Amino acid sequence: MVQVTRLAHVGLQANNLSTQAEFYNDRWGLERVDEFGNEMFFRADGPDHHVLTLTEGHDAGLHHVALQVPSVEDIDRAYEELLARGVEIVTPPTTELEPGVKRALRLKDPDGFLVELVAGVETISDPFKDDEIKPTALNHVVLNVRDQAQSEAFYQEALGFKLTDRFVGGLSFWACNANHHSLAFGQARDGTPAFHHAAFELRDWEEWIKAVFYAGERGIPRAWGPGRHLFGNNLFSYYKDPEGNTVEYTAEVEQITDPSRQPRVMEPYADTWRTAR
């Protein structure tokens, strides 16, 4: 089994690359670090070379999700193993896929979502720009899938994710390290797989509530929140980017360090802050 150790970055396809770049750089609080061809790379106020990529393309939405494995050798091992499982490989192991990443490959998951495995992510020590909102990392990505059980089995068996919590008839939350969930899956209501949202982390609740304030002042449409989730205990506030992708500011996500902890299964209970929706 391939053992994913981290969610590395999320890639969005941008119908209008310059509008999206302006949004993520000037309003969402990320910083553009590189660009080549039709791709742009954005870092957060953390060590990773990038946490978001934008790829120019016709339709807005998810381009890919990147998951990190411990070493460049793991990329090659993963390649053999995924081939043996019959997984569709889009890009075999390469050193040339993107800046800031030593070795990577791309595959398709059961829904056709493009998943990238990366190893050797460059760290950046340059000081981050001055901004009122400074996300420190990408925290999680949520996908609506055609067959929830099938997707769960794939990420569990092929990539080493573990179930942390599950809402009956709702989202299931999956971890690849202490972080409560790096991926979550929900059943697509109309059977069409789709990107649900990506969450960017703020340092603490004070930075997070400041982000809620400045997002308001910057006219970023808020879809839900601020509030606090039951599963993961994280603070949340959801927004729409200019192309309709849902993005979240989160903080205080539960870190699971007890190896004997068992997954909880509960009726959906989204917001302990009791916001009307």
Partner 1 sequence: MVSVTKLAHVGFRAQNLSTQAEFYNDRWGLDRIDEHGGEMFFRADGPDHHVLTLHSAESPGLHHFALEVASAEELDRAADELAARGLNIVMPPTAGLEPGVAKAMRFCDPEGNLVELISGVDTVSDAYGFRDVKPVGLNHVVLEANDRVALESFYRDVLGFRLTDQLADFMTFFRCNANHHSLAFIKTPNGQPGFNHAAFEIRNWEEWMKAVFYAGERGIPRVWGPGRHLAGNNLFSYYRDPENNTIEYTAEVEQITAPDYVPKLRNPPIADQWKTVGQSGPGGGRA
Which residues in this chain contact partner 1 in the complex, by CB under 8 A? 205-206, 209-210, 212-213, 216-217, 219-223, 226-228, 240, 272-277
Q: CB of residue 266 vs partner 1: minimum separation in angstroms?
A: 18
CA max distance for the chain: 52
Bridge partner list, 121: 101
Q: Which is nearer to partner 1, 117 or 212 (CB)?
A: 212
Q: How far apart are the C-alpha atoms of 200 and 180, rounded to whole Å?
A: 14
Q: CB of residue 227 vs partner 1: minimum separation in angstroms?
A: 6
Q: Which is nearer to partner 1, 73 or 204 (CB)?
A: 204
Burial class (CB in 10 A: 0-12, 13-18, 19+), 272: exposed
Q: Which is nearer to partner 1, 70 or 221 (CB)?
A: 221
Which residue is it, tokens 């982000």?
211
Torsion of CA 41, 44, 46, 48, to 10 degrees: -20
Q: CB of residue 121 vs partner 1: minimum separation in angstroms?
A: 33
Q: CB of residue 228 vs partner 1: minimum separation in angstroms?
A: 6
Compute the radius of gyration of the chain from its Cα atoms: 18
Q: Which is nearer to partner 1, 58 or 189 (CB)?
A: 189
